[in-house]
Structure 1
Amino acid sequence: MTFSGAFDTTSPYPCATFSGPFVVPPGQARIIVNVNASVPTNDLAVTLVGPDGTPIHTEDNGVGNEAFDYEASPVPTGNYTVYVCASSNPLAPFIQPYTYTGTFTYNDVAASSNCPANFTPTLPAAPADAGPKIGYENFEAPGVLTPITQTSSGAFTVEYLGRSAFEPSIGVHWTTNVTAYQSDLESLFVTFGSNGLATWVNRRAPTSQFIDSDPILFTDRQTGRTFASELTLLSPDTVKISYTDDDGQTWIPDQTGGIASAVDHETLGGGVYRQDLAAVPPIVAPPHSPTYPNAVYYCSQDLETALCSRNDDGGLTYGPSIPMYVGTQCGGLHGHVKVAPDGTVYVPNRDCSGTQSAVVSEDNGVTWAIRPVNTCTYAAKPSLVGTGDDPAIAIDDSGRVYFAFSNFGTSAGVAVSSDKGKTWTNMYDVGAAYGVKNVAFPAAVGGSNGRAAVTFYGSTTPNGSATGDSNEGSFTGVWHLYVAHTFNGGSTWTTTDVTPTLPMQRSGLLRGGGADIVRNLADFFDVTIDKQGRVEVGYANGCAGGPCSQAAATAHGNAYSVTATIARQSSGRRLLASFDPATPTSKPGAPFVTAYRVGSVVHLAWNEADTGNASITNYKILRGTSSGKETNLATIKGTQMKYDDTKATDPTKTYYYRVVAINKVGQGSSAEVAAPYMGDACNGMVIHRNDPSHPESYGGAILTTAPIGPGATPVPTPTPPVLASAIPQLLIDYVSVAEPASAPGYFVFKMKVNTLSSIPANSRWRIAWDWWTPTTQMYYVGMKSNQAGAVSFEYGTLADAGVPAVLVLGETKIADLPQSPTGTHYDPDGTITMYVPKSGVGNPQRGDLLGAIGGKTITGDVPGVTDTLERSTTFIDHTFVKGNSDNSYPAATYRVAGNSTCGQP
């Protein structure tokens, strides 16, 4: 039953707005209520009132959505009423319209018909594993320019490698031991060396092309074949899949046209066919290609119904799309398909009649069964934060299933089944040891009998009136990456904080769709193992660079980066038992180091996620002015996780650093980090400097080679020569931010272009940035010219209109900026200087972060018409931040210093 109305914004329950009566007949076991505000920021609360007029339950945990599942044995018969009122602690002012829509449903099946209707809501903490901890090292893609023939924001250009790692997936070729990492339109292949370094290269699949959505990758560990797919979403509505057997050196696309892609949450998986002649009826493996032994499954949702198709020829053609469930059984959102060693196929779903469930096929994808995840004491409940947080499934070599989920959105749940999901045991919270209160996007992988790992993004900050909603930019918490391992079938667990000192995201995550500025991390990431049983997690670092990662926990803002990163197991027991190390201790892993240079000081800080199960005694700091030629600078205590080099005084030099961890076993490996001079807060911090040849611009050069590894030098060449030269007045050399003491209360933004000796007509020069304030998202400042070439200056906000808002943004002017030779103006040498009042752009405070700062130039505005759109496909030039995520290198983040100091806050 559906209902709608306008809710009372003046009072919590009891209030004046309600719907009903809803008549519940005898013999029912549960009532499910779901209410959505028309304006997502309108913080409503929902109360269910029973037949006797007594309130049964009030749900006030979300913001624009509230949902709950009331269960009893049985539910009392009679008339029920649903009150929709204001939250008792609204997170934001209410915005008209105050309307809402809702559903009231009931049924005679509890979360499990074999269990009592009521479940204990809080999961118990996972029993601790008694063995040594598991260590990890983190590897980021190098920030080098690579040629791109197609991107989701334009064609034939260059982009920084691995800087658009939205929704990444990962796999390992067990023969070559090369890791494949897919995100956006990049198919990255990574080789890990014995020296602690990684080499990255982009070998894009031919079907990875615009229009793209939900890119996915699957590597069949038995055959080494890697499949890369793009969900088309828009016409033509067909999935685009290619496969490679040689780590992207050659690709073979699927048949022309292909199967219907559906609209969201595509997934690829594969494994052996199931055959059980003793079953009733007998299960016989279907005919398949003699050249490829395994089945490949493609599944995706079509609004509410989810479909799965099977491939029997190694990836060329796919069979019919078979519904796994319909909207009355489960919500559309599901996780990634997995295949057990006996051929049983599993797809996890976040909400089947109020319980997260495994959707299972025991006949090679022909028929499907929904199996709720509960133990009769505890149940896997859907996340109440946003509408995302898909669950994940891992399967060990014995066929045991591990179901990883975000319980209510707040705890890291895991449950285990040894009978294909019919019953579940060992349901625990594997994040409790770290006090995790917010959990998003779980992923899971299995290994030897009894061994598995689950990983998730977690925050110790709960949702609340003072901390905000973790589905929005207003959230005040920070996020870490966690991985939990079991070695005994889920009876005990050991959890590692893979980013223990430096967070991998600040503010919220995109847990419910849309185009908030926290869209840099969304929906899912992935985990796999290599042929020696090391766990590898493919994720995106949303707080890349020193300014963000080293900021105080109380700082507002984020980098909003999307940096391809792999967390790779470097010590401890493996998921393949035969590769367990002989001793519990080892040399420490390489610290993950970030540098933040301000004036004559370089601030270093690092994550150390692998102590080698022995205390770190010391860290050695090495420094040099040439890459690879660092010498010892200092030795510090093993408890110190940061170091300030106050002698980096030469502004003409780039300083290079390494940090080496030492324990009783020995000295670990290290990775290099560079700290070029970027200025200071008084005179200006250069946020991004483009290559002088401007290969990124319309009509500029492109790179003919794809440089890989640290220190590679790309050589721009003018290819193809038919492209017209870009207008020099619109070619951006750099953008910068300053807070001079002479202008208290103001930011000074600068854009330097090649020249402004003459002004092109009908053009715009813009600098935009992300700010955490939830009602504004982004600000901009800029110069524009009219038909006569006369210029004016303004600042304002940038707003989106939903997906694909990351590509099209609309300007709303706040105010004009007065021009002055010593204030806001432009110079003929191409320098544009703009003074912006801090009070007009969210009033950020000392220590806060302006993220995703990007310059862009636009021409061809219609004369006499105020063009307020910024389309990323029409920029003449840019600094690699084209929407509300940061795709540049280094991360384009400015830490507010205040107008009284030139150094770091």
Structure 2
Amino acid sequence: VLYGYSDGCVTPGCIAGTAGNDFVAFMRVARQSGGKPLFANLDPVEPAAPKASCLSGTRDPAGSHLSWKAPDNGGSDIANYQILRGTSPGVEVPLAQTNRTTFDDTTADPAVTHYYYVVKAINAVGVGPQSNEVDLTMVAPPPPENVCALPGLTKLTDASGDNHAVLGIAGPAPAGTDLRSFQIAQPYAADNVIRLAFTINTDPGQSPQPIGSSWYVAMKIPDPAPLQTFHYRAVHMTWNGTTPVFESYTPAPNGSGGIDGRFVTAGSQRPAEPTSGYAPPYNKVVIVVKASDLGLNPGNTISGFVSGVSQTGGGLITELYDQMPDSLAFTGSYTVNDNQVCRPNNPPIAALTASPSSGRPPLTVNFDGSGSYDPDTAPPADTIASYTFNFGDGSAAVTRTTPTISHRYQHAGTYAARLTVTDSRGLQSANTATVVIRLPQR
């Protein structure tokens, strides 16, 4: 038996009765497992073996990742699931058992092109029929996200195709109003002015967009301790003509007294940075603002985000083409970094001289690495923290904080003396400086 109901109350305040309706109209679906169905003539004989599960999965270099829906239990609790694997369809053999509805196969060999999987549910009566078969091929995971480079870290996502016309104001929904995700980045600022970059990803859009439309991200920010309250800031791209305006602002309450970012407190707008933009194919809105314009400093935390695409009609009504999350409940967090966190660290350059560079043994040679340097000169500039000398004659290498050293060569021969340096942030030189010392036979 399946049944569903429309749920418009999903946030804690609404459920507790301390806040208004959320107006999300989520469809909840519940399913019966075991027991009698609606019609008596279809009553099963129970207990019986479980029915078949519905299996899905993905695969990456770390292994295969399976998940499945718990099937009808046949009137007897499911105790375990058997996972079967093969390299050809229809010939899977037992691999493992679990009492969960997920399984990670870390023994999958990345060199094998195809792995086929099925699962079977087990209860006290016996083993149920196998699930559908899945054929998993390797999919390389996306590169790790980097807060130091746009687009940054993903904080919100949204299903595609869920934008809609704004009834009574505009329709159908314009291209570029179907929200996909929101990301935040904090690249290094050479002028030491911390900036946050907000990227709203959408379907391919158009330019210009309708007058009165806005793409925004609103933020929920805790007030200083010991206060337990919050305040709100937001950024948007808004269209008042044929070109967009990028701003930060303080959001105003909506009609029910809540904050969702749609409305702007008059006079609170501040221009965003010139690096903000909306470029073909118009599927990314990039809004760059000074952290100070949002009242944020290093160590401050944003405790939630919401994003939306709104349309204002007649200067009176503002509705949404799309929003994320769908519940408009503030989600995710971000702590503002010190500017030095994303500061580039280029390797230092080692340079070495020797005097004398030749002579009869025993010979004392004076080495000098003071020509070594670090290219990262923006304040606070990196420095050379240590010098490692290798004299090339089998003696132990010497690491010191000063750039000069003397070494005595005892025997005739040709020796390649080398220097590597390490900077004040722990990065070693990419090059090795070398000088050749020649000691002829007597």
TM bracket, shorter-chain basis: 0.3 to 0.5
TM-score by length of 2: 0.45
Larger Rg: 2
TM-score by length of 1: 0.25
